Copies of this chain bind each other. A is one copy, B any other.
Amino acid sequence: MILVHHLQIGRPLFTVFLLEELGLDYELKLYTRNELGRAPAELKEAHPLGKSPVIEDGDITLAESGAIAWHLVEHYDVEGRFSPPPLSQKAARAEWFQWLHYTEASAFAPLLLKLLLMREAEPKPQLISMFAAGEVALQLGYIQDFLGDKAYILGADLQLPDFGVAYITQMADRLGELGPYPKLKAYLDRATARPAYARALKKTGG
């Protein structure tokens, strides 16, 4: 049985969303943020970085959303529904892995900066504010352009990289950044309207 160390509110919800889509049994250990919005110290007992999501799978303790998603799919996606295109489809497979990595890497840091800037006292730092604004526009513009009129980021069906894209678009929405990106808002609404997301939300509280 997989155990998810789940911190409300944020990225771990999308790990639980994946578990629900896969139809796997799992247990939850719920944590709430402290008054500063940070993870509680007890999460360090689960993993030295004290972050979430962290999963336990037997004697394995695993951090990093992208690595967790890949682990779950490699071992438990019996129907291959969320597996990448085969090695022979070189271009499609490369794109799939780019999107799996991208949402945890380049796409995330600018939004983290935006979040920190909202909490920072006046006067806001000028260079960091400019950098964050430019990078958020670059990343969200890229995602919307790539999405185009597709239902999900790589086509008509929800695929593994979508869990990261849905997280990024939800974070952008919460930061009030999705206004200029109606296709991303529609995408987020589409992803979060899925029954598996509703179950994940209900079981975790967010």
> Which residues of chain A (91-117) have a CB below 8 Å from chain B?
91, 93-95, 97-98, 100-102, 104-106, 108-109, 112-113, 116-117
User: How many Å from the CB of A67 to the closest CB on chain B?
Assistant: 4
Contact of A109 among B50, B63, B112, B138 (CB under 8 A): B112
Contact B98 A101 (CB under 8 A): no
User: How many Å from the CB of A201 to the closest CB on chain B?
Assistant: 24
A95 and B70 alpha carbons, distance in the complex (Å) = 12
In this complex, the interface size class of chain A, counting residues with CB under 8 Å from chain B, is 35 or more
Contact A120 B126 (CB under 8 A): yes
User: How many Å from the CB of A46 to the closest CB on chain B?
Assistant: 13
User: How many Å from the CB of A175 to the closest CB on chain B?
Assistant: 15
